[in-house]
Amino acid sequence: MADNRNILDDFKTNQEVKEIDTNVKLKVGIIGCGWIADAHIVEYLKMPDVELVAFADLVPGKAEKFAKKHGVEGRYYLSHADMLDNEELDAVSICTYNRTHAECAVYALNKGVNVLLEKPMSVTTEEALEIRKAEKASGKVLSIGFQPRFDPNMQMIKKICESGELGR
């Protein structure tokens, strides 16, 4: 076991650090500024290549209050459609009520915007199918926030598995 532990320690210390190009920033908007959006904005603020530019929430004043709570300035909208119609965004996080996930995701994808969609993907299988059709037609990325893929522990596990240290 000690031998395996040394291999793991060597593996962790010999990882190359990838440089992030901060000259090009992804313009991101957040749709729905409730409690789950806090997790999204906290992570976006750690990313030097992301610029949070717009926020939408159907409750008047909520988007602005949310952004300011996190020390971010932006433009504020009362609907996802108004935001997507008036902003040039690279991506959005959709953090709305479950029953509005499909509507917001399809609209964003049809506008050519990448989507990080909170779980659940949709309320019905028919809505899920519509989202997938919009994704395919748009050529954009749709990611459902139902995985720990960005968790540091999961990223290390992935690196270890891909390295071949554990075999095939």
User: pTM for the full model?
Assistant: 0.79
Strand order in the sheet with 114-118: 75-77, 50-56, 26-31, 91-94, 114-118, 142-145
**Backbone torsions φ then ψ of 111, nearest 5 degrees:** -85, 0
Cβ(22)–Cβ(49) below 8 Å: yes
What pLDDT does 1 receive? 45
Give the three-class secondary structure for 147.
coil
Residue 4, pLDDT score: 57
Residue with tokens 């991101």: 28
Q: Please determine, for residue 30, whether its predicted confidence score (pLDDT) is greater than 80.
A: yes
> Quick one: average pLDDT of 69-76?
97
pLDDT at position 109: 98
The pLDDT mean for the chain works out to: 90
At 5 the pLDDT is: 60
State the amino acid at position 88 in one-letter form.
Answer: E
What is the pLDDT at residue 16?
73
